[in-house]
Amino acid sequence: MKEKPIPHKRKAEDDYEYTLILFNDEYNTFEHVIESLVEICGHDPVQAEQCALIAHHKGSCEIKSGIKQILLSMRRGLIDRNLSCEIK
């Protein structure tokens, strides 16, 4: 008896996991960055502070992973607050 092939379910682009990356800059204050991460990305204040410090010392920090469509919305919010970020 022949086995039926299992159909491969192809994922849509939005099903893949992406990462939102925050870049350090020389003009935004830590308070502004922390407040933005809390309000836009849903970080708690300690997590937001740690991300701000990592970006400051290393030049960038991965601040959120998830579905591209959601990260695009967060990226727009951060850019509206003059923060530098990208999705990879």
- Smallest CA-to-CA distance from 37 within 27, 17, 25, 51 is with 51
Asked if the model's pLDDT at residue 62 lies above 90, the reply is yes
pTM score over 0.75: yes
Is the separation of the CB atoms in 77 and 40 below 8 Å? yes
pLDDT tens, 16-43? 699 999 999 999 999 999 999 999 999 9
Q: What's the CA gap between 49 and 36, in Å, rounded?
A: 11
User: What phi and psi values does residue 35 have, to the nearest 5 degrees?
Assistant: -60, -40
Q: What's the CA gap between 35 and 28, in Å, rounded?
A: 11
Percent of the chain with pLDDT over 90: 81
**What are the residue boundaries of the structural domains of the chain, listed by start?**
16-87
Is the separation of the CB atoms in 23 and 84 below 8 Å? yes
Report domain 16-87's class: alpha beta
